[in-house]
Amino acid sequence: MTEDATAVTEHKKHWFQARIVLFVGSSIVIALVLVSVSMALYASSGAAQLDLSRPGFQAVQSQVERSSTFKSFPASGKVDNETIEQFKALYEEQVKQVTANDAFNPSVLDEHTLGIGAPAATE
């Protein structure tokens, strides 16, 4: 009886180890498939052209004009009704800019709408 119990335990242990290997292997395959799909979407959607952090665009990064029109809110300081009202005003201003565009309109990703259009060349 003990030999049968030992054989059953070893069989269960072997089956458990095989399932772990199968689980890890399938997890790796699923991760690779999802990464491949996301990279294909990244390239086909046009987001890759907007990404200036890519190595091919390092020479162009210095030509990017930084906009100083964004008003940030200080991270430290006292909190009172006046600062809360300032924050709400800045927040509402940003919300208006974001919600002004129709999210389902394809022109939302246009260079002019995003504010990244090339400046007009003057000759």
pLDDT, average across residues 46-66 = 71
Residues 106 and 49 in one domain: no
Q: Contact, 84 vs 91, CB < 8 A?
A: no
How large is the average pLDDT for residues 77-106? 83
| Structure tokens that stand for 111 in this block | 């260079």
Q: Is the pTM of this model over 0.85?
A: no
> How many domains is the chain built from?
2
121 & 110 share domain: yes
Please say whether the beta carbons of 87 and 75 come within 8 A: no
Domain end position, chosen among 19, 40, 64: 64
Task: Output the pLDDT for position 81.
Answer: 92
**Distance in angstroms (rounded) separating the CA atoms of residues 91 and 84:** 10
Is there a single domain that holds both residue 74 and residue 120?
yes
Whether the predicted pLDDT of 26 surpasses 80: yes
Are residues 3 and 16 located together in one domain of the fold? yes
Q: Assess whether pLDDT exceeds 50 at residue 75.
A: yes
Q: Name which of 18-22, 28-32, 69-73, 88-92 the model is least confident about.
A: 69-73
Same domain, residue pair 71 and 52: no
